[in-house]
Structure 1
Amino acid sequence: TFTKDGGATSNYQFKKYMEPFSYANPIPTHVNPNGDNGTTDLNVPLMRYAEVLLIKAEAAINLNGAGAGDTELNKIRKRAGLIAKSGMTLADLKRERRNELAGEWADRHRDLVRWGDAQATYAKPLHDFDGAVIWPARNFNPQVHDVWAVPQREIDNSSGVIKQNAGW
């Protein structure tokens, strides 16, 4: 039975980075008291070996098709206690990447943009554990949200040579 603890909007909470909060009195010894920019003494990995394997597998699948990333993906699956698979496709890689890097610093948004999946994904609302909508469907416009704005200073310094990206 799942009971809401009031901690997260979705009612789910990742525990993998919560160790500093397990102490009886974590603030200020293990957790920065600044509530706006909370930091801990936990060394959070910015990139793990699993992400390197996922990047290599994605490149292999994109270059050579289904199965080309099996070696890398199966290393991750083995570490996670899952059985090996063969002939894995880009769809399999997307699922493995979503599951392996869930709740980490990996940039899911950039994955969705890179794969061309952002518009369809963001068009769906996010749901709570009991099905209630916690975040409405959003609009993703690839012509605006897939490019960065050019800093105005750079446009000004170029004497009109550099133009702003459309939509910005």
Structure 2
Amino acid sequence: MRAFEPVPMKASDHEAIRLLSRSLGRSSEPSRFGDLECQLVLKDESGRLIGWGRAAWWDPNDDSAPAGYYLSGVEIAREFQQRGYASRLTAARLAWIAQRAQQAWCVVNERNSESLRLQASFGFKEITRADHFGSVGFTGGSGVLLRKDLTEAARNLTADLI
């Protein structure tokens, strides 16, 4: 395994993911992730988890948000934040989605300015805002539905990034 490159998540990564998530004040539970998803991890040279990300098909059953492939989570250990690791995971997840669809979707809390900047850097555009999309609600703000068109040129560019 080459360090700092996204690789498929394994069951043996789940405990490190749980611990990372708790350290960030979150509650990710990788054992609940679906089987037909893009699930990736980044590790350092010693095999320590730097971060993880996933993308999956989601049908929110919501008039505001369509069914489609969504970026559905990324977490980076605090000591590795702001170094481009979330971008590496995002590029890899977009390449995965581009093999399956012409659009990628994302839902972000409007207060999460770092995530909104990250998505904007990949060409995501705001579609709408709401207090919830499907079963996903937002505390202290609204959610932002974002879309990125994955044209052939964009798919090739995204694939070149990983």
- TM-score relative to the length of structure 1: 0.25
Return the structure number with greater helix share: 1
Which structure carries more relative contact order (alpha carbon 8 Å, separation 6+)? 2
